[in-house]
């Protein structure tokens, strides 16, 4: 079963004449030191997975070195580089709403379907990607989810099982970890307050619905430890700083299998999303960046990522190629966020709502935090 992606207003990649065709790009090894790329991502175990899955193979095939940088999301740094004409990032991993907003602002390079490699069986890329994965300035690379997890060592007695339990301080006392941004937190709050999954964004579309979400967050605010980087929740859970925390599913999975942490993921209410890879507008390394984008978004690269972390390919041809975790031999299929059993409990992230309301919600969230 494949989840239906929300994205009816995503503009398809149709500007085939806008940039150089992939077939015309030279993949020969450049002279030593002639070019390199800076790729910006989310750090931690996800960045390590990308390095092993396609950064290092790309360098081996093309001779183009990759420098990996990390950030915590948003467009502020990209905007500053583009507006000053001092672009030193070449490609960037983005949340969908930021990718679309960045495209609208001219912060990302327009892309073409001609840049993308076909599936291993020859199926054209535009037919192989799941719906919603191709935008004017970005290409989907994987599915991931924001979930919450707990450490049973710090939760004696009954264990949480629903999104409502995350907000139940009476039944499950202790501190919670949450990302210091309104995105997903508002959705979790409404789900925990009894709003059905198919009505969450309709509810957020009203002032009363937003008020309701913040009122629910009020009930646990004084017990929240705020995190900003994806590597923080597993550490907070391991240290006992929190008894449960929202987190990216892949980060919790890696802590489970590589560090033998006893963490348990609660999939109820998970917010299913996908990551986007884009090219920063004005990069002086545009041709090399296009080569990298094509390499990173081929089926083989996506499947390779799924051997290091529990994020699933954005292409149909990759779904059947998921096998085992490379280091431990763990079967990866049951751990994928879009597996049938997990999708049954998922809310599909509405990037359009956040594109339209993100600035307003960020301002309100900052004011709420300051109170």
- The per-residue pLDDT for range 64-79, each reduced to its tens digit, is 999 999 998 999 999 9
- Is residue 7 predicted with pLDDT exceeding 50? no
**Same domain flag for 139 and 268:** no
Does residue 366 form part of some domain?
Answer: yes
**Same domain flag for 279 and 325:** yes
Does residue 129 form part of some domain?
Answer: yes
Q: Which residues on adjacent β-strands are paired with residue 143?
A: 274, 312
DSSP 216-251: HHHTTGGGEEEE-STTHHHHHHHHTS-SEEEEEHHH
**Same domain flag for 212 and 316:** no
Which one-letter DSSP state was computed for residue 27? -
User: What is the band of 61 on the pLDDT scale with cuts at 50, 70, 90?
Assistant: very high
Does residue 314 form part of some domain?
Answer: yes
Does residue 10 form part of some domain?
Answer: no
**Same domain flag for 322 and 304:** yes
Q: What's the number of domains the chain is made of?
A: 2
Does residue 63 form part of some domain?
Answer: yes
**Same domain flag for 278 and 204:** no
Mean pLDDT of 314-319: 96
Does residue 17 form part of some domain?
Answer: no
User: What is the band of 18 on the pLDDT scale with cuts at 50, 70, 90?
Assistant: very low
Cα–Cα separations (whole angstroms), residue 6 to 43, 201, 261, 265, 347: 27, 12, 34, 24, 10
- Is residue 258 predicted with pLDDT exceeding 50? yes
**Same domain flag for 251 and 305:** no
- Is residue 164 predicted with pLDDT exceeding 70? yes
Does residue 2 form part of some domain?
Answer: no
Please tell me the distance from the alpha carbon of residue 66 to that of residue 299, in angstroms, as a whole number. Answer: 20
Does residue 334 form part of some domain?
Answer: yes
Which CATH number covers residue 177?
3.40.190.10
DSSP 279-327: EBTT-TTHHHHHHHHHHHTSHHHHHHHTTTSS-EESBHHHHTT--B-TT
- Is residue 211 predicted with pLDDT exceeding 50? yes
Q: Please report, rounded to a whole number, the percentage of residues in the chain having pLDDT higher than 70.
A: 91
User: What is the band of 98 on the pLDDT scale with cuts at 50, 70, 90?
Assistant: very high
User: Rounded to the nearest 10 degrees, how much is the dihedral formed by the CA atoms of 36, 92, 323, 334?
Assistant: 160
User: What is the band of 332 on the pLDDT scale with cuts at 50, 70, 90?
Assistant: very high
Q: 132 lies in which domain range?
A: 22-143+274-346
Mean pLDDT of 345-362: 94
Please tell me the distance from the alpha carbon of residue 334 to that of residue 318, in angstroms, as a whole number. Answer: 15
**Same domain flag for 159 and 246:** yes
**Same domain flag for 127 and 177:** no
User: What is the band of 1 on the pLDDT scale with cuts at 50, 70, 90?
Assistant: very low
Mean pLDDT of 104-109: 97
Residue 32: the pLDDT is 38
Which one-letter DSSP state was computed for residue 181? S
188's tokens: 């979790």
**Same domain flag for 211 and 288:** no
Q: What is the pTM of this model?
A: 0.86
**Same domain flag for 339 and 363:** no
Please tell me the distance from the alpha carbon of residue 214 to that of residue 212, in angstroms, as a whole number. Answer: 6
**Same domain flag for 189 and 257:** yes
Could you give phi then psi for residue 313, rounded to 5 degrees? -60, 150
**Same domain flag for 94 and 207:** no
Cα–Cα separations (whole angstroms), residue 103 to 63, 111, 269, 302: 29, 10, 30, 23
């Amino acid at each position: 079963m494949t989840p239906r992606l929300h994205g009816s207003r995503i503009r398809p990649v149709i500007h085939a004449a806008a940039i150089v065709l992939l077939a015309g790009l030279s993949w020969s090894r450049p002279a030593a030191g002639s070019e390199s790329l800076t790729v910006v991502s989310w750090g931690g175990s996800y960045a390590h997975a990308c390095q092993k899955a396609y950064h290092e193979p790309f360098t081996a095939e093309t001779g183009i070195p990759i420098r990996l940088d990390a950030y915590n999301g948003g467009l502020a740094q990209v905007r500053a580089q583009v507006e000053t004409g001092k672009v030193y990032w070449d490609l960037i991993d983005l949340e969908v709403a930021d990718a679309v907003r960045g495209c609208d602002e001219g912060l990302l390079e327009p892309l073409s379907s001609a840049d993308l490699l076909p599936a291993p069986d020859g199926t054209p890329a535009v037919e192989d990607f799941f719906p919603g994965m191709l935008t004017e300035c970005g290409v989907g690379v994987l599915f991931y989810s924001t979930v919450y997890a707990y450490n049973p060592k710090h939760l004696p007695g009954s264990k949480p099982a629903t999104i409502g339990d995350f907000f139940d301080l009476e039944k499950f006392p202790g501190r919670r970890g949450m990302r210091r941004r309104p995105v997903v937190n508002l959705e979790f709050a409404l789900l925990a307050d009894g709003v059905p999954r198919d009505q969450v964004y309709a509810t957020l579309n009203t002032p009363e619905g937003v008020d309701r979400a913040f009122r629910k967050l009020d009930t646990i605010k004084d017990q929240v430890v705020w995190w900003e980087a994806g590597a923080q929740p597993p550490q907070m859970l391991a240290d006992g700083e929190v008894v449960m925390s929202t987190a990216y599913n892949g980060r919790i999975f890696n802590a489970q299998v590589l560090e033998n942490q006893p963490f348990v993921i609660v999939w109820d209410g998970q917010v299913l999303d996908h990551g986007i890879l884009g090219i920063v507008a004005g990069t002086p390394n545009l041709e090399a960046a296009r080569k990298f984008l094509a390499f990173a978004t081929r089926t083989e690269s996506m499947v390779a990522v799924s051997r290091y972390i529990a994020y699933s390919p954005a292409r149909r041809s990759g779904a059947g190629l998921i096998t085992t975790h490379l280091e431990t031999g763990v079967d990866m299929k049951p751990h994928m966020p879009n597996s049938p059993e997990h999708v049954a409990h998922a809310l599909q992230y509405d990037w359009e709502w956040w594109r339209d309301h993100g600035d307003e919600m960020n301002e309100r969230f900052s004011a709420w935090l300051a109170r």
